[in-house]
Amino acid sequence: MYDLLVVGAGPYGLSIASHAAGAGLDVRVFGRPMESWRDHMPQGMFLKSEPWASNLSDPRRRYGLADYCKRNGMEAKHGEPISVETFASYGLWFAQHAVPDVDERMLSSVSACPGGFEAMTEDGQVVRGRKVALAVGVLPFVEIPSALHGLGREHVSHSSHHRTLDRFRDKDVTVIGAGQAALETAALLAEQGTRVRVLARSHRLNWNTVPPALERPWRESLRAPHSGLGCGWRNWFYAEVPGGFRRLPEATRARVSASALGPAGAWWVRERVESRVEVLLGHEVVTASAAEGRVRLATLGNASGGPDFETDHVIAATGFRATGARLGVLGPDLRGALAVNAADEPRVSAEFESSYPGLFLAGLVTASSFGPAMRFVHGASYTAGRLVRGVRRSLRRGPGASAFPAPVPERNRRTLMGSVKR
């Protein structure tokens, strides 16, 4: 029986496995390394995060993105985006050098068993572990607007469903959303000859500006410090103090995790969108139907009906919703045992342990506990060290014992983040 089974081999899973191995744990990792980056992002996309904020985490800090780039004749420069292809290759390099052998089989289920957990691989093998770290990324949490649910896959898809956009050449495509995924997808479609429009509920598109230089006069740095999530003290708190964020009242955490760092496009994609893409703002789809191979969309504005039109395909770049019910790899016994908040998002301890003893969670599914950093690669470093520390403590406690705290009363507190409330 392994000490730890890591489910998922993206940035969080690989970072956790590296720290676990460094701590002397007998660890087994399952999943195709960097799958979402290799198979679910079209060629030509770039990371929105700065290169120095996009490192996977190993305990000795020997395998950062800059180290990979230097070894391969590239340079990871502040203010210059890194391609998805480069980042995926970096993740594979990290897996080869900083992680025990990765078992690329997917797991069909994880359930409880005497002394720990039992995982079933896709080809029927049973593997047991005393503890489990679930780092399944974002793909289980795809969110598509309810108005589109009646359409088949030939007519609607999520932005994370595409490794290539070639099938849409010379077609008419409607992209729903106002964030980076929507805007960059639309730009790539337009540049390959697709007629494309962006449809968004918001009344304006938000664009991130070119980041200021890393080296600045101290007054500028003090006024708006750099962080892994952008400049400013608020972003610094989200990026660098996830443990402090967790001490906020649950209602505040839920509100901030849902609204902070809202939809916005990177500065380097703005001209590509504004020069080529039709944008319909202040409208949302209310009904969608398929007829004669096309999709008929009816939209609604704030106070009146919007344009109705036909399109060949709808791409929903509408994000992800990380609820406990969508953790489909967990057996019913484990899913049903998870304590959740009002939005059905699992609660976790200060060391990422769920309410089921020995089951640890990582990544997007912990954003309501630890804040917006868990939506980005930057959060993997904080997660890996603390989660593995929690695993080691759990192993010392033995099976069945939990460090999961009682619910924290909702009350006002004086915290570093007093300015979060508005």
- Is the pLDDT assigned to residue 388 strictly greater than 70? yes
Q: Are 384 and 57 in contact (CB under 8 A)?
A: yes
Residue 408: per-residue pLDDT: 43
Between 64-78, 286-300, 407-421, the lowest mean confidence (pLDDT) is in 407-421
Residue 347: per-residue pLDDT: 95
Task: For residue 34, give every residue at least 6 positions away whose Cβ sits within 8 Å of its Cβ, in sequence order, or none.
Answer: 9, 10, 11, 88, 91, 92, 95
Residue 411: per-residue pLDDT: 39
- Is the pLDDT assigned to residue 166 strictly greater than 50? yes
- Residue 400's pLDDT band, with cuts at 50, 70 and 90, is low
| Rounded-to-10 torsion of CA 334, 335, 340, 344 | 170
Residue owning tokens 């990380």: 322
Q: Are 40 and 162 in contact (CB under 8 A)?
A: yes
Q: Among residues 399, 252, 352, which one has the least CA distance to residue 15?
A: 352
Please give the residue that has the higher pLDDT: either 364 or 43: 364
Task: For residue 146, give every residue at least 6 positions away whose Cβ sits within 8 Å of its Cβ, in sequence order, or none.
Answer: none
Residue 409: per-residue pLDDT: 41
Residue 405: per-residue pLDDT: 62
Establish whether domains 2-141+320-397 and 146-207+264-316 are of one fold.
yes
Q: Which residues of 100-126 are buried (b: 16+ CB within 10 A; e: fewer)?
A: bebbeeebebbebeeebbbbbeeeeee
- Residue 302's pLDDT band, with cuts at 50, 70 and 90, is low
Q: Please list the residues that pair with 28 across neighbouring strands.
A: 5
Q: What is the pTM of this model?
A: 0.92
What percentage of residues in the chain have a pLDDT greater than 90? 87
- Is the pLDDT assigned to residue 397 strictly greater than 90? no
Residue 304: per-residue pLDDT: 56
2-141+320-397: CATH architecture: 3-Layer(bba) Sandwich (3.50)
Instruction: Tell me how far apart the alpha carbons of residues 144 and 159 are, in angstroms, rounded to a whole number.
Output: 10
What number does CATH give the domain 146-207+264-316? 3.50.50.60
> Average pLDDT in the 284-297 region?
92
- pLDDT (tens digit per residue) in 187-199: 999 999 999 999 9
> Average pLDDT in the 103-120 region?
96
Domain coordinates in residue numbering, the chain: 2-141+320-397, 146-207+264-316
Instruction: Tell me how far apart the alpha carbons of residues 405 and 368 are, in angstroms, rounded to a whole number.
Output: 16
- Is the pLDDT assigned to residue 271 strictly greater than 50? yes
Q: Among residues 384, 358, 377, which one has the least CA distance to residue 48?
A: 377
Q: Are 322 and 141 in contact (CB under 8 A)?
A: yes
- Is the pLDDT assigned to residue 244 strictly greater than 70? yes
- Is the pLDDT assigned to residue 412 strictly greater than 60? no
Residue 231: per-residue pLDDT: 94
- Is the pLDDT assigned to residue 407 strictly greater than 80? no
- Is the pLDDT assigned to residue 2 strictly greater than 70? yes
Task: For residue 244, give every residue at least 6 positions away whose Cβ sits within 8 Å of its Cβ, in sequence order, or none.
Answer: 237, 415, 416, 417
| Rounded-to-10 torsion of CA 55, 57, 58, 59 | 120
- Is the pLDDT assigned to residue 416 strictly greater than 80? no
> Average pLDDT in the 88-97 region?
98
Q: Among residues 273, 88, 268, 288, which one has the least CA distance to residue 185?
A: 273
Distance between start and end Cα atoms, the chain:
50
> Average pLDDT in the 413-418 region?
41
- Is the pLDDT assigned to residue 250 strictly greater than 60? yes
Mean pLDDT, the chain, whole residue set = 92
- Is the pLDDT assigned to residue 298 strictly greater than 50? yes
Q: Are 26 and 351 in contact (CB under 8 A)?
A: no
- pLDDT (tens digit per residue) in 7-42: 999 999 999 999 999 999 999 999 999 999 999 999
Residue 418: per-residue pLDDT: 47
- Residue 391's pLDDT band, with cuts at 50, 70 and 90, is very high
> Average pLDDT in the 302-320 region?
85
Instruction: Tell me how far apart the alpha carbons of residues 317 and 327 are, in angstroms, rounded to a whole number.
Output: 21
